[in-house]
A and B are shown apart, each in its own frame.
Chain A
Amino acid sequence: MIEALLIPIAQAATGGATDGHPPSSGLPQFDTSTFSSQTFWSIVSFLILVALLNKYVIPAIRNILDARSKSIQEDINGAKQSRVDADKALAEYRRLISTARESAAQIMDETRREAIAYRDNALKTLEEESARKKAVVMEEIEQSKRAAMQEIATHAVEIALLATEKLLAKSVTAADANQMVDEAIRQMGQQRPIIH
């Protein structure tokens, strides 16, 4: 099967079939009778192909490559611009955030200071108020104490006088009376701290 397929191919390749061409002694390429036509047509065909490619192929590819490099360049420029913009935006946001942070810290500081001041103020007022009230109360106490002392002294003298009068009914000399008064007064003086 394979042989049947390959024999014609091999014959085409090797010239197995007879075709009327006598085998030459050397390479057929050195047959000078074919040189003039092959030289002529090689030159002519080559020049025609140069002209055709130069007109229809090379400029087309060159245009496409130029257009592509141009568009890539534009893309790169655009990307660079975008990057610059993004960097700018980022810097702006960073600036905003730091400003916000600063102002927040400032507000907190101020608030804290204000709160402390308010508390201090309130404490001071309270202390002053209580001191003032205490002073008033002390004054009142002092006054009432003094009044009480006065009253007691008055009453003591009266009692002493009365007692003296009763005693005088029995024989009391003036000296005894004075002594008794003094005694009474002294006794009152000793009792004074007990009132407090």
Chain B
Amino acid sequence: MFALTATAAATTAVHAAASSAPKMDPLHHFQVIKIIPISLFGIDLSISNSVLWMWIAMALAFFCFRFALRQPSIVPGRAQSLAEAGFQFIDDIVNETIGHDGKQFFPYIFTLFFTILFCNLTGLIPGSFTATSQIIVTGTFAMGVFIFSTLLGFYRHGAHFLHFFVPSGLPIALLPLMVPIEIISYLARPVSLSVRLFANMTAGHTLLAVLFFFTATLPWFGAWLPFGFTVIFTGVEIFIGLIQAYIFTILTCVYINDALHMH
């Protein structure tokens, strides 16, 4: 208790001392700020900047597709080609990873990919908020995928799904070792899924924030260096945003495939 208070006091003191000079707080823009406070049965359901930017990203995804498909034709225009390429991309992932019976999950996987992609990309707009840099958002999606695929496995195979944790062709003596490992690795799936996306987004944006801070505070002859890095790194972040959305999607497909086919 004392320690906590002391830390707080020390922080406040440092804060007060540094208030005259610009202070670096690269984690500040991950701060979730309530915009419209809503509370239902004592549970906080406020609209925050995170929720708002998730809605903006989702709306952008939806309206980009609607715009691309405003006049669908056999011979596609540029926007329509792009929309079709996105569709085909997810369709190929689903077909190759899950197979033919993956079709029923296609709308969910399609939405998941474009939600994450647009959250990642809109987060790069200066002054915006990256919903996918929130562990609870990526965790919600990852837990959704985890619970869905686990229920799917039990729905498809009943109690036989437990054999998933027993690797075939293994000596009986090794089973007490392998089964717990399999169970732990299975339970680690949502953790790795959510942390991977959240950590990538957080790290990238933190680095960008630090570089912007240096750009703003260094004298002009030094500022161009971090500024140049922000330009390059924004490009890298766009790539990372794409890659992470892809990884999240393909792992989702792998987990669903495991639940369906148990291998």
Distance in angstroms between the alpha carbons of A6 and B230 in the assembled complex = 12
Contact of B26 among A14, A58, A68, A71 (CB under 8 A): A14
- B103-111, B166-174, B175-183: which lies at the A interface? B103-111
Cβ–Cβ < 8 Å partners of A62 in chain B: 87
Cβ–Cβ < 8 Å partners of B245 in chain A: none
Asked whether, in the complex, the Cβ of A6 is within 8 Å of the Cβ of B27, the reply is no
- B43-51, B151-159, B184-192, B250-258: which lies at the A interface? B43-51
Distance in angstroms between the alpha carbons of A31 and B208 in the assembled complex = 22
Distance in angstroms between the alpha carbons of A38 and B51 in the assembled complex = 6
- Residue in A closest to B21 when the chains form the complex, CB atoms: A16
Q: Count contacts on B: residues with CB < 8 A to the other chain.
A: 75
Interface residues of A in 37-70 (CB under 8 A from B): 37-43, 45-46, 49-50, 52-54, 56-58, 60-65, 67-68
Q: A21-B31, A23-B15 are in contact. List 13 more A-B contacts (CB 8 A).
A: A10-B217, A16-B23, A16-B24, A36-B44, A39-B140, A42-B131, A46-B112, A46-B115, A49-B58, A53-B62, A61-B83, A63-B72, A64-B74
Distance in angstroms between the alpha carbons of A36 and B7 in the assembled complex = 28
Cβ–Cβ < 8 Å partners of B62 in chain A: 49, 52-53, 56-57
The prevalent SS among residues of B at the interface is helix
Which residue numbers of A lie inside 8 Å of B, CB to CB? 2-3, 6-7, 9-16, 18, 21-25, 27-31, 33-43, 45-46, 49-50, 52-54, 56-58, 60-65, 67-68, 71
Report the 10 A-B pairs with minimum CB-CB distance, sorted nearest first. Answer: A15-B28, A10-B216, A34-B32, A10-B212, A54-B107, A57-B65, A42-B140, A41-B51, A28-B30, A13-B212
Cβ–Cβ < 8 Å partners of B54 in chain A: 41-42, 45
Contact of B45 among A23, A36, A52, A53 (CB under 8 A): A36
Contact with A along B125-146 (1 / 0, CB 8 A): 0110001011111001100100
- Residue in A closest to B43 when the chains form the complex, CB atoms: A36
Cβ–Cβ < 8 Å partners of A3 in chain B: 216, 220, 223
B239 within 8 A of A: no
Cβ–Cβ < 8 Å partners of A37 in chain B: 38, 44-48, 51
Distance in angstroms between the alpha carbons of A10 and B212 in the assembled complex = 5
Candidate in A6, A14, A28, A52 with the most chain B CB atoms within 10 angstroms? A14
Asked whether, in the complex, the Cβ of A27 is within 8 Å of the Cβ of B45, the reply is no
B10 to chain A, nearest CB (A): 11
Contact of A67 among B47, B74, B136 (CB under 8 A): B74
Cβ–Cβ < 8 Å partners of A6 in chain B: 212, 215-216, 223, 227
Distance in angstroms between the alpha carbons of A42 and B54 in the assembled complex = 8
Asked whether, in the complex, the Cβ of B28 is within 8 Å of the Cβ of A23, the reply is yes
A41 to chain B, nearest CB (A): 4
Known: A14-B26, A38-B50. A53 touches B65 (CB 8 A): yes
Known: A42-B54, A42-B140. A28 touches B19 (CB 8 A): no
Sampled A-B contacts (22; CB under 8 Å): A2-B223, A10-B215, A13-B208, A15-B28, A16-B24, A22-B11, A23-B25, A34-B44, A36-B43, A36-B44, A36-B45, A37-B45, A40-B43, A43-B140, A49-B62, A50-B108, A53-B62, A53-B110, A57-B69, A58-B110, A67-B74, A68-B74
